[in-house]
Structure 1
Amino acid sequence: MHWLKILTPLWAASFLTVAAPLAQAQISGDAVLLEMQKAFRKRDQSALTQMLPQASGHPLEAWAAYWELKNRLETAAADEIQSFLSRYAGTYQEDRLRNDWLLILGKQRDWATFGQVYAKFRMRDDRSVTCYALLADSLQGRSTPGMGQQVRDLWLAQKDADDGCTAAAGQMYAQKLITDADVWRRARVAAENNRQKAARDAVAIVAPEAADQVAQVFASPVKYLAGQSKSRGRERKELALLALIRMAASDPDAAATQMEGGWGAQLSGEERNWAWGVIGKQSAFKLSPDANGYFAKVRRNEDLSDDLLGWKARAAMRAGDWKSVRRAIDAMGPERTDPTWSYWKAKAMLAGRPSAEDKAEARQLLEDTAGSGSFYEQLALEEIGQRVTTPPAPVPLTAQEKAAARANPGLARSLYAIQIGLRSEGVREWNYSTNLHQPGGMGDRELYAAADLACERQAWDRCINTSERIKTFADWSQRFPMPYRDTVLAKSSNIGLDPAYVYGLIRQESRFIMDARSGVGASGLMQVMPATARWTAKKIGMTDFTPGMLNDRDTNITIGTSYLKLALDDFEGSMALAAAGYNAGPGRPRNWRNGPTLDAAIWAENVPFSETRDYVKKVLANTTNYAALITGQPQSLKSRLGTIGPRPASDPETMKDLP
C-alpha cells in the first residue's frame, strides 16, 4: 500500500481503520467462492443455495450464480434462466449457461426454444450444440448446401458418442446426405479407439438389427469371428472388420493371421485395406519391424484415414522406405499441409537420387514450412541453411493499450479467479475474453497488451498462450519467459545442465505455474512425482527431503533439474530420450530405443504415446528458442538431436531402481 505514504499519519490511520474490515470481508468472500466451487463439483445443491447470498457483490459473483443455477438447470424455469442471462449479459458465464441450456433443449427436442436461444449464442464451439442446430434446421426444412458434410465432419471428429451429433448423423443418413461408408467409418474409428457405445450408435444407424452384435465384437473378437460364416453381405463383413480392428489393438500379429487365414479374401478391397492399415498401425505402436510389411499389403492408400496414413509414413521412415513415406503423405487429406508432413514429404523427395523437379518442389515445401516456432518449422529452417534466431522486438505497447487491457472486465475477473485458486475458471474466462470471434474480439495489438498484463501478474500460462495467438509479430519475452532466472541458471550450472533445456522442459510441463498439479500426482514447476522426488533426493544426498517440500520453488527446481540430469546421463546425453523419460518414465524409452539406429527426429516421430511424442518435440523446440534468447546467438535444433539406437552392451543402466 505504497500510496499511503502520501497521506498524513492521521488520514492514513483513519483509512486503515476502514480498509481492514473491507479487506477481511473480501477474503471471506473469496473463501465462499472456493467453497461453492467444491460444492458445485460435489453437486451439493443445498450448500450452493445456502452460500449464494454470501457471494453477492463479489467480483466473481457471476461464477457463484452460474454454479448454483447450472447444478439444477434441467429443472429450472425458463424465466429464471432468462433472468440470469439478462443479469450477466456479455459475460463468459452468460454464454456458458446458454451453451448448457442448448444441450438440454436439444436433448428434449424443443426446437422452438432452441432456435431462439441459439441465435444469441456467441461461442459456437461446442460440437454437440452445432449438431443440434444442424439437426433442427434439417427437421424444419432449412437444409443448406454442405450440411451433410458438416455433420459428417463433426461426428467423425468425436471420440465419444453424444446425442447431438449421433441424432444429426442419423437424420443426414435418412436424407442420403451421409453415406453407408461414412457411417461404417465412424464405427471403425470408434472400434479402434475402444469406444463401444460410439461404435454401436453408428451401427444402429446403418444396420439397426445388427447393433446388439457390437457388444459381442468388443467382448471377444476372436470368439465372434469364429462364430461367423464368411458371408459376402456388407453388414457381416463390416462387423467382422470391427472384430479384426479390436483384435489388432491387443495382438496385431493374430489379426494378420486371421486376415491371411481367410477373412482377408472375404472382405472388399476397401475393407481389406483398412484392416491391414489398422494392423500396421498397431504393429507400429509396438515398433515392430513387421509394421512396414503389414502396411505394404494396403493396395490403395486413399482408402485409409489420415491417421492411418500418418502411421504408415512413420513405419516407412523407420524402415528407410522413403518412397512409401512419400506415397502415404500424398494420399492424405487435410493433414498433408501440417508442418510435420510437409517436412517429411520434402525429406522423402530428397532421398536417393532426386530429380531436379523433386529438388525444386522439396525446397519450396521447406521454405513454406520454415520458421522458429514448432519442431518441424525449425528443422525445415535448418534444411534451407538458416538457424533459429531471436526475432526483433515489436513496437512497444502504448499507455493507452495497456490501460485498455487492465480495464477489460473479463480479463480482470479471470486474473482474480486465478489469483484466489479458481484456475480452471480463470483460464476459461480469459480464453473467452480474448477470443477473436467474440463481439469486439481482440486483434494482435490487443492480444499483445493482454499477454503483457498476464505476464505482469505472473499468470505465465495465459501470457504464453495469448502471445502465441499473435499472427503478425512475436515478442519472445512473452512467448518464452524466464521467471526464477537466477535460481534456474544457478541450479543448472551447478550440475552441468543446459539452462535452455531446463526452461524448455518447464515451459512444457507447467507453463511456470508453481502450484500446478497433474492428474497423477506430479506437482510444481517441474511436475515431479513424489516417488521420483524421494528417489532423486536419495541419489543427490538430500537426507531431510519430504514430499511436502516439492511445493517450495527452490526445492522443486533442485529435485527436477537433478532428476533431468540423471536421466540425461543415463541416456548418454540424448535430450530426446531424456525428455521422453521425464514424461513417460525411463523404462519406456529404454524399450523404444531398441531397433535400428535412427535420426532422433525419426525416432521422436515414432514414439507410440501421442502425449510423449508431442512433449519431446515441444521440449526440444522450446530448448532451441531459449538457447537463442539466453546466448543471443543463432541456434541449431539438429545439433541437439543426433541419432538414437540400442544402448551399448557395455553401458550400464543407472536408473533401474527408480520406483
Structure 2
Amino acid sequence: MHLYPRGLRIVTLCSVFISGISFASPDLHKDFIQAEKIARSGNTKNYQQAISNLEHPLKPYVQLAYLKNHPLLKNEQEIERFLDVYSGTPLEWPLRKTWLEYLMKKRNKALFIKYFKETSDAELSCTHLRYQLDLGAPEAAILKQVTELWLVDKSQPKACDSLFTLWQKQGYMSQELIWQRLTMVAEKGQHSLIPYLEKQLPANEQYLADLYYEVRKDPSATAGLYRFKKGSEKEAQIAIYGIRRLVWRDEELAIRAWDKLEQKFSFSQEQKNDVYYSFALALASKQHVQAKFWLNKVPDEKQDDALMQWQLTNLLQLQDWPGIVAYFTDKTLSNGQRYWLGYALLQQGHKKKSNEVWRDLAEKRDYYGFLAAARLGLAVALQEQALNVDDALIKEVQQAPGFLRAKAFFELERFTSAKREWNYLLNTSTEDEKLAAASLAHQEGWHDSVIITLAQIERFHHLDLRFPLAFEELFERYSKRSNIDLAWSYAIARRESSFAPNASSSAGAHGLMQLLPSTASYVNKGSVSRSKLYDPKVNVKLGNDYLKYLKQKAKGNEVIATASYNAGYYRVEKWLPKEAIDFDLWVEGIPYRETRDYVKNVFAYRQVYHTRFGFADNLFDELVKMKIQK
C-alpha cells in the first residue's frame, strides 16, 4: 500500500504517536486543543499527563509542539524516534529544522551532521558543509559543493561567509562564474549585490556592472548607444536584455533603438531570434501596426503556444482569413486554433472543409468544442463517466493516518495544515488510491481538493466530482433572489475558488466568489470585512448581487458582465468595439490573457452545469448569434 509506506509500523508499534480512531468528535477536538496548549506551555509533567490520555488523529502534532519547545540533548532519543517515524510527512521538517538550529547554536557538529537532510535553507546547508570541513572531510569534495550555494541571485546568510572566503581563496571563483552571477542578479535578483560583484570583475570590465544596473533600472538607457563603449559580447548581452524589456515599456523607442543596435553589434542569430520573439509578443499584445511584421520574423523553432495565440489574434483582428488558413494548415493545433481554422475556411466559402474541422472538435468538452457544436447544430457532448472505486480501498484510505490528520485539521478549520497533510497523502498514493481519496474528499465537501486531485491525474470525465453542486441551497436561493442564472453563478464560483470558502488571492479577493472587500461593501451599500467574506452565506449573496449589478451595467450582456467580473467593468468598456463583431471574435481579442481565458472557462463551466441540471440545449447556440459592441 503506497498511501503510507510506514503506516502499518506506525499504527502497531508506535501507538504513542497515532491513535486508531477514524473520526474525531467535537469533544475530542477540545481535548486535542487543550493538550496542544499544554505542550506549548513547557510544563513537562502536565504534558506527559495530557498526551497519555489523548486519543486523537492529531496526537503527533501535540508531541511535535512539545519537542519543538524542548529541543534538548536529553530528548535526543525521543526526537530521533519522531523524525524516523514521521520521515517525509509534514511533521518531520518543523522538528528537524528546530533541532538542527539548536545543535548549531550548541556547536554540536557531529550531531548536526548526523541529523542534517538536504534542504533549501542556505544557512543550514552552509553550516553542514563547514562542520564537515571542521571534522576532517576532504576539502576538495566540500568546496565543489559550495559553488551551487554561491551562484544564486540573492545574498546568502552570514553562516556561508567563511565557506565562501575559503572557496574563493582556493581558486574556485572564476571570472565566468562572476559574470554568470552578475547576469542573474542584474536581470532578476537583488541589485544590492551588484557593487560586490563589480569589485570581483577585472578593472576594465567593472563598468559593465554599472551598465547592467542602469539598464535594469531604466530600460530606455539601452537606446543610448554611447553607453556601449566597446561593442563586446558582454555589452551585446546587456543590450539584448535591455531591448527586450524596453519594448514592453516604449515600443516606438525600442524599434528605433534596435535598428541602431543591430548596426553596432554582431549579434548571434539566437540573440536576434530572442529579440524578434519579445517584439512579436509585445507588439501583438499592444495591437501595434507592426505586429504582423515581427510575428513573421520569428523562426518556426520559437513558435510556442503564446506566440501562436498572438499570431492568431493578430490575423483575426485583420480578418485575414487566407492568412489564418495558410498559417495553421498542416500544423499540430490546439482546440482553439482548430476552431478558428474552421471559421476562416467558412469565411472563404469552404463550408465542407470547415465542417470537417469542426465535427471532430464538437466532441470535445470545452469552450471550443461547445462553440463548434453550436456552429454545426449538434448537441453538447459531455462524455461524463461515473467514478467507481473499490469499497475496500476506500475504507483503507479512510484509515490512513494522513487522511485522518487532514480530516481533523479540516474540521478544526486549520486549512493550511489540512492541505499539507492532504498533499502528503496524495504524494504517497497510487492513482487508484488518489481516486479513493478524491471520492472521500467529495463526501466531506473538500471540493477544491477533489478538483485539484482529479486534474493532477488527468481524470477529467468525473463531472459529478469536478463540477459539484456545492453549497446548493445558498446558490439556489441567492441566484434566484438576484435573477441570475444558477449555472452562471456556479460557473463563476467554480472558476474563482473551486468552492474553497477560505480561498484568497494575491489581489485581495476572498471567499467562494472571490470578492474584494471594497467591491463587497459597494454592492452591500455598507462595510463588509474580509472575515465576513469567508462566510459562504455572505459571499454567495454578495457575489450574485455583484453579477446582477454588472449585468445591468452591460445592458444585459452576460459575456461583457463575465469579463467585467474578472477585469472590472470600466476596463472592459474600453475593449468594446465601435462596430459590432461576433461574440467569439471579441472574446479571442481580449487583450488580457487572464480575462480572455476566464471568459472562455466560465462559459464552458456554465454549459456543463446547465447540462447537468437536465437541460438539453446548447447555450452556445445563442452566443454564436451574439454581436459585441459599445
Q: What amino acid sits opposite 1:388 in the alignment?
A: V
Decide which moves more: 277-286 or 497-506.
277-286
For residues 185 and 316 of structure 2, the distance between their equivalents in structure 1, rounded to whole angstroms, comes to: 24
Gaps of 5+ in 2: 1-23, 98-115, 133-140, 157-175
Q: What is the identity percentage for the equivalent residue pairs of Structure 1 and Structure 2?
A: 24
The yes-or-no answer on 1:442 pairing with 2:470 is no
What is residue 222 of structure 1 aligned with on the other side? 220
Larger radius of gyration: 2
Q: Does the aligned pair in 2 maintain the 1:188–1:199 contact within 8 Å?
A: no
The 1:618/1:483 distance shift into structure 2, 3 A limit, reads same
Deviations 1:144-175 (A, max 9, x none): xxxxxxx9xxx9xx9x8899xxxxxxxxxxxx
User: Number of residues paired by the alignment?
Assistant: 537
The yes-or-no answer on 1:462 pairing with 2:445 is no
For residues 108 and 331 of structure 1, the distance between their equivalents in structure 2, rounded to whole angstroms, comes to: 54
Q: Does the aligned pair in 2 maintain the 1:460–1:513 contact within 8 Å?
A: yes
The 1:566/1:431 distance shift into structure 2, 3 A limit, reads same
Match of 2:119 among 102, 111, 130: 102
The 1:224/1:398 distance shift into structure 2, 3 A limit, reads closer
The yes-or-no answer on 1:316 pairing with 2:337 is no
Q: How does 1:352-501 map to 2 (within 5 A)?
A: 352=348, 359=353, 363=356, 367=360, 370-372=363-365, 374-379=366-371, 386-391=378-383, 394=386, 396-435=388-427, 438=428, 440-443=429-432, 446-469=433-456, 471=458, 474-501=461-488
Secondary structure class of the residue paired with 1:591: helix
Q: Does the aligned pair in 1 maintain the 2:364–2:381 contact within 8 Å?
A: no
1:624, CA displacement in angstroms? 0.9
Q: How does 1:605-620 map to 2 (within 5 A)?
A: 605-620=588-603
1:507, CA displacement in angstroms? 1.2
The yes-or-no answer on 1:243 pairing with 2:276 is no
Q: Does the aligned pair in 2 maintain the 1:366–1:381 contact within 8 Å?
A: yes
For residues 401 and 441 of structure 1, the distance between their equivalents in structure 2, rounded to whole angstroms, comes to: 11
Q: How does 1:136-175 map to 2 (within 5 A)?
A: none
Deviations 1:110-155 (A, max 9, x none): 79999xxxxxxxxxxxxxxxxxxxxx9xx79xxxxxxxxxx9xxx9
1:462, CA displacement in angstroms? 1.6
1:86, CA displacement in angstroms? 0.7
The 1:254/1:391 distance shift into structure 2, 3 A limit, reads same
For residues 581 and 189 of structure 2, the distance between their equivalents in structure 1, rounded to whole angstroms, comes to: 34
What is residue 277 of structure 1 aligned with on the other side? 277
What is residue 530 of structure 1 aligned with on the other side? 517
What is residue 30 of structure 1 aligned with on the other side? 33
For residues 328 and 32 of structure 1, the distance between their equivalents in structure 2, rounded to whole angstroms, comes to: 67
For residues 240 and 230 of structure 1, the distance between their equivalents in structure 2, rounded to whole angstroms, comes to: 12
Decide which moves more: 458-467 or 81-90.
81-90
The yes-or-no answer on 1:255 pairing with 2:248 is no
Q: Does the aligned pair in 2 maintain the 1:524–1:556 contact within 8 Å?
A: yes
Q: Does the aligned pair in 1 maintain the 2:32–2:59 contact within 8 Å?
A: no
Secondary structure class of the residue paired with 2:120: helix
1:550, CA displacement in angstroms? 4.2
1:526, CA displacement in angstroms? 1.9
1:643, CA displacement in angstroms? 5.4
Deviations 1:609-657 (A, max 9, x none): 444333222212111100001134153446446656441xxxxxxxxxx
Secondary structure class of the residue paired with 1:631: coil
What is residue 588 of structure 1 aligned with on the other side? 571
1:396, CA displacement in angstroms? 4.9
Q: Does the aligned pair in 1 maintain the 2:32–2:62 contact within 8 Å?
A: no
The 1:391/1:196 distance shift into structure 2, 3 A limit, reads same
What is residue 58 of structure 2 aligned with on the other side? 60
Q: What amino acid sits opposite 1:492 in the alignment?
A: S
Secondary structure class of the residue paired with 2:484: coil
Secondary structure class of the residue paired with 2:449: helix
1:249, CA displacement in angstroms? 2.2
Secondary structure class of the residue paired with 2:613: helix
The 1:218/1:631 distance shift into structure 2, 3 A limit, reads same
For residues 223 and 433 of structure 1, the distance between their equivalents in structure 2, rounded to whole angstroms, comes to: 52
For residues 627 and 431 of structure 2, the distance between their equivalents in structure 1, rounded to whole angstroms, comes to: 44
The 1:381/1:457 distance shift into structure 2, 3 A limit, reads same
Q: What amino acid sits opposite 2:364 in the alignment?
A: G
Q: Does the aligned pair in 1 maintain the 2:551–2:561 contact within 8 Å?
A: yes
For residues 50 and 250 of structure 1, the distance between their equivalents in structure 2, rounded to whole angstroms, comes to: 65
What is residue 4 of structure 1 aligned with on the other side? none
Q: What amino acid sits opposite 2:600 in the alignment?
A: K
The 1:341/1:625 distance shift into structure 2, 3 A limit, reads same
The 1:369/1:424 distance shift into structure 2, 3 A limit, reads farther
Gaps of 5+ in 1: 1-20, 40-45, 115-135, 141-150, 164-179, 648-659
The 1:392/1:239 distance shift into structure 2, 3 A limit, reads closer
For residues 407 and 536 of structure 1, the distance between their equivalents in structure 2, rounded to whole angstroms, comes to: 45
For residues 322 and 117 of structure 2, the distance between their equivalents in structure 1, rounded to whole angstroms, comes to: 49
Q: What amino acid sits opposite 1:490 in the alignment?
A: R
The yes-or-no answer on 1:574 pairing with 2:562 is no
Q: Does the aligned pair in 2 maintain the 1:281–1:308 contact within 8 Å?
A: yes
Match of 2:540 among 545, 549, 557: 557
1:22, CA displacement in angstroms? 9.3
1:88, CA displacement in angstroms? 0.9
For residues 548 and 516 of structure 1, the distance between their equivalents in structure 2, rounded to whole angstroms, comes to: 11
The 1:520/1:368 distance shift into structure 2, 3 A limit, reads closer
What is residue 505 of structure 1 aligned with on the other side? 492
Decide which moves more: 561-570 or 374-383.
374-383
The 1:162/1:78 distance shift into structure 2, 3 A limit, reads farther
Q: How does 1:541-556 map to 2 (within 5 A)?
A: 550-556=533-539
Match of 1:91 among 81, 89, 92: 89
Q: What amino acid sits opposite 1:405 in the alignment?
A: V
1:502, CA displacement in angstroms? 0.3
For residues 38 and 239 of structure 2, the distance between their equivalents in structure 1, rounded to whole angstroms, comes to: 52
Task: Using structure 1 for the length normalisation, give the TM-score.
Answer: 0.65
Q: Does the aligned pair in 1 maintain the 2:379–2:616 contact within 8 Å?
A: no
For residues 211 and 347 of structure 1, the distance between their equivalents in structure 2, rounded to whole angstroms, comes to: 52
The 1:72/1:28 distance shift into structure 2, 3 A limit, reads closer
Match of 2:614 among 631, 654, 659: 631
For residues 155 and 346 of structure 2, the distance between their equivalents in structure 1, rounded to whole angstroms, comes to: 45
For residues 489 and 329 of structure 2, the distance between their equivalents in structure 1, rounded to whole angstroms, comes to: 38
Q: Does the aligned pair in 2 maintain the 1:534–1:547 contact within 8 Å?
A: no
Q: How does 1:297-336 map to 2 (within 5 A)?
A: 298=297, 300-303=299-302, 306-321=305-320
Q: Does the aligned pair in 2 maintain the 1:447–1:469 contact within 8 Å?
A: no
For residues 25 and 125 of structure 2, the distance between their equivalents in structure 1, rounded to whole angstroms, comes to: 46
1:257, CA displacement in angstroms? 2.6
